[in-house]
Structure 1
Amino acid sequence: MIRVDDDTRAHIDAAISSSLARLAARTQTRGESAQALVAAIERAAAGGKRLRPALVVMSFDALGGDRAAVPALWQVAAAFELLHTAFVVHDDVIDRDTARRGVPNVGGEFRTRAERSGADRASSAIVGDAAAILAGDLLLHEVSRLIATADLGTRERATVLDILDEAVLVSAVGELADVENAAGSDVPDETILLGAAHDKTAVYSFRAPLQAGAALAGASAADQAALAAASAQLGLAFQLVDDLIGTFGTRAQAGRSPGADLREGKRTPLIAFARATQAWPEVSSALAVAHTGPIAVRRAQRELTASGARTRMVDLITDTLDEAHHQAAALPPGARELLDTIAVAIRKRIP
């Protein structure tokens, strides 16, 4: 989505590797299970687009930061990537997923490990879930440790910790709302679903890393406030596009089978938009059987499109990106250009 130059990527990866190497070294005397857990964490954190740490660095640069003067930049950037990894690991437990992008995740690895040691299926599932929860816990602690030990002034450290604190809280609340919305007997109001979409992704993926970079660059309070407002809109648009990809995207876009959100019965704003139309009976009937296979998924996709919900979703994404542009008007030129670049990248992801 956002291109990261080789030098920036190398610095980010080095900071992440250093953090995980420290964790691995501490488990050398803790037994084979502990070492296997850290190895699984390392695999979970490997690769990826490095979007969130890249946003820390790009915001820092756009607001006049001097990389040479703030070596802690890379440690803070790494913290936001490990925060993402922690949430992904925990999210897989919530969604009962044992694989990610076609390979076993932390929970999947430890299920197999338990089965090989003779555990039955139920016991292996317990072991897998426990390993994933504990891996996420270790990562969350490592995120806080990275920021707490970064070479920052007292004020800058407090600011970044406050940003992290808000991101963790809002994301947890948003994830819980998402789960509760899916469990209810009826589709919640679109306002509720939009709130959950914002909270579970927008803050930790966009607002927090962009704010952190701005804080490290010494941006003014006014610029930080404008950046926070604009980046929250970008984060919401990003999640809404993700919802479209989960419903209409290709395997290459989604990283899993097309229409996965339909098969899993996820309640997204797209579904709420369809519920508000006269076509809801047809849409609801199609959604009820979408879990049965590809033909049923394609039928649900057609009904959602015919209802006008897909068009309304695209219109909302456009309006949200326009609002982000408006919120960014008071920022310095470099920051405005960065946010516009992000907006263009988000728009290009629309399936």
Structure 2
Amino acid sequence: MSLPSQSPAQTCRPRPAPASDALQQPVRLHLAAVIQEHREAAGEYSKAAETLWTRIGQALEGGKLTRPRLVLLGHEAFASPAAGETESAERLQRVIQLGCAFELLHGSLLMHDDVIDRDFTRRGRPTLSALYRDDALARGKTAQDAEHAGHSAAIIAGDLLLAAAIKLARCAADSLPAADAIENSFHQAIHHAAAGELEDLLFSLGPVPAQVHEVLRMEKLKTAAYSFQVPLHTGALLAGADAAGAAALANIGSQLGVAYQLIDDILGTFGDPEQTGKSIESDLREGKSTILTAMAAATPGFSTHLQLFRDPDADVPAMRSALEAAGAERFARQLAHDLCAGATSASRTLNLPVNVSAELEEFADLILNRGA
């Protein structure tokens, strides 16, 4: 990644903003600048920390930048068409900064998630954990000690990204009337994601899968809040939306986010790993409670199969067949469809700008057709 230099003082200072139809490029450039700033600062006091920031930057490369797009969408839903060119440019720069804050938060949560799930690959690439694990192996450490070193480095990296995300979110809202509301919403996303991750962990320790309503709550907390709900909410607040309007838009994001995670559950069991980059065995082998296992567990006659989901040596194809026979995939897809239909219906009720409603409907279509 080519990283343009930028001083700490420049990070919070609005710069000339590009056109809104070119959001991806300025977001990537600003992310690169933030990483470069931290890498250079770390180089003043720790070579190891400088290397860590270099690897963090590599880990954040790519991605679809869905969260910045949703921040922009939330902003466009309530932006004043009468705003002057200077004001519009400043607001767009704030959107870019806030979108980057969500990307840093996403990176932080993924770093920690890799530790929780004991994963060393993501989307077919070695994780930051894997890089430090391999460094330790090259120094002659045992596999156990090397894995511990890798996960330890990932925890540190996740903490650094979280701190950077919070700072950048505050920068984006600085001096706005809604600054406190935006900061509180961003913090809520962090707390909800942590609660959802904890519930996911605890559900995996239970003797049977969690119930459907418990899984839906967990997925709303763990994924929907920081990836869909809060980006729309804070984007709307950036534009000057009132509390009720921003909350209504956030609710649409919550429905889309839960639908996204439901489809993710399906792809994690019935998808094509070559196409999705997701294992179709890890969720089942780890005893994770997904909408599939929750729905199947509530089906009469399925109790005889429950022991499969707490046996690490269980036959995964047999587990998948049991879920299929219970109609779990069909149930999950219908539920995701209903959530997306509710979200798009609500967007029309809010009388949002035509382009915003169209993009929300596009998000719904993309969610439902993932892996197709």
What is the correspondence of 1:227-238 to structure 2 with a 5 Å cutoff?
Answer: 227-238=249-260
Paired position in structure 2 for 1:105:
127
- Mapped partners of 1:180, 1:84: distance in 2: 22
Residue 288 of structure 1: how far off its partner (Å): 5.7
Paired position in structure 2 for 1:330:
350
Alignment identity in percent?
Answer: 34
Number of equivalent positions: 344
What is the correspondence of 1:272-291 to structure 2 with a 5 Å cutoff?
Answer: 272-281=294-303, 283-284=305-306, 287=309
Paired position in structure 1 for 2:325:
306
Paired position in structure 1 for 2:363:
342
Q: Can you list the C-alpha shifts for 1:295-343, whole angstroms capped at 9, x where unaligned? A: x433322221111122111111112122223333124233333322211
Paired position in structure 1 for 2:59:
44
Judge which range, 187-196 or 233-242, deviates more.
187-196
Classify 1:291/1:44 alpha carbon distance in 2 versus 1 (closer, same or farther; 3 Å).
farther
Residue 282 of structure 1: how far off its partner (Å): 5.5
Residue 134 of structure 1: how far off its partner (Å): 0.6
Paired position in structure 2 for 1:251:
273
TM-score with structure 1 setting the length = 0.91
- Mapped partners of 2:301, 2:63: distance in 1: 39
Judge which range, 24-33 or 151-160, deviates more.
151-160
Judge which range, 79-88 or 181-190, deviates more.
181-190
Paired position in structure 1 for 2:248:
226
Residue 166 of structure 1: how far off its partner (Å): 0.7
Which of 189, 201, 213 pairs up with 2:211? 189
| Counterpart code for 2:364 | A
Give the conservation status (yes or no) of the 8 Å contact 1:79–1:146. yes
Classify 1:290/1:185 alpha carbon distance in 2 versus 1 (closer, same or farther; 3 Å).
closer
Which of 284, 307, 321 pairs up with 2:340? 321
Give the conservation status (yes or no) of the 8 Å contact 1:98–1:104. yes
- Mapped partners of 1:350, 1:99: distance in 2: 20
Residue 84 of structure 1: how far off its partner (Å): 0.4
Q: Can you list the C-alpha shifts for 1:160-210, whole angstroms capped at 9, x where unaligned? A: 211101100111001000000011112222211111111100000000111
What is the DSSP-based 3-state SS (H/G/I as helix, E as strand, rest coil) of the residue aligned with 1:321? helix
Indicate whether 1:212 and 2:227 are aligned.
no
Give the conservation status (yes or no) of the 8 Å contact 1:226–1:331. no
Judge which range, 198-207 or 71-80, deviates more.
71-80
- Mapped partners of 2:100, 2:90: distance in 1: 18
Residue 285 of structure 1: how far off its partner (Å): 5.7
- Mapped partners of 1:281, 1:84: distance in 2: 37
Which of 13, 17, 22 pairs up with 2:37? 22
Give the conservation status (yes or no) of the 8 Å contact 1:99–1:108. yes
Q: Which runs of 5+ in 1 are unaligned?
A: none
| Counterpart code for 2:326 | S
What is the DSSP-based 3-state SS (H/G/I as helix, E as strand, rest coil) of the residue aligned with 1:72? helix
Give the conservation status (yes or no) of the 8 Å contact 2:276–2:371. no
Paired position in structure 1 for 2:73:
58
Q: Can you list the C-alpha shifts for 1:231-250, whole angstroms capped at 9, x where unaligned? A: 11111111111111111111
Which of 40, 50, 60 pairs up with 1:35? 50
Residue 253 of structure 1: how far off its partner (Å): 4.0
- Mapped partners of 1:338, 1:220: distance in 2: 22
What is the DSSP-based 3-state SS (H/G/I as helix, E as strand, rest coil) of the residue aligned with 2:43? coil
- Mapped partners of 1:312, 1:327: distance in 2: 23
- Mapped partners of 1:197, 1:107: distance in 2: 25
Give the conservation status (yes or no) of the 8 Å contact 1:198–1:236. yes
What is the DSSP-based 3-state SS (H/G/I as helix, E as strand, rest coil) of the residue aligned with 2:339? helix
What is the DSSP-based 3-state SS (H/G/I as helix, E as strand, rest coil) of the residue aligned with 2:240? coil
Give the conservation status (yes or no) of the 8 Å contact 1:62–1:338. no
| Counterpart code for 1:69 | E
Residue 135 of structure 1: how far off its partner (Å): 0.2
Give the conservation status (yes or no) of the 8 Å contact 1:245–1:253. no
Paired position in structure 1 for 2:184:
162
Q: Which runs of 5+ in 2 are unaligned?
A: 1-19
4+ residue segments displaced more than 6 Å: none
- Mapped partners of 1:34, 1:6: distance in 2: 36
Residue 123 of structure 1: how far off its partner (Å): 2.3
- Mapped partners of 1:29, 1:69: distance in 2: 32
- Mapped partners of 1:105, 1:202: distance in 2: 23
Judge which range, 306-315 or 146-155, deviates more.
146-155
| Counterpart code for 1:297 | V
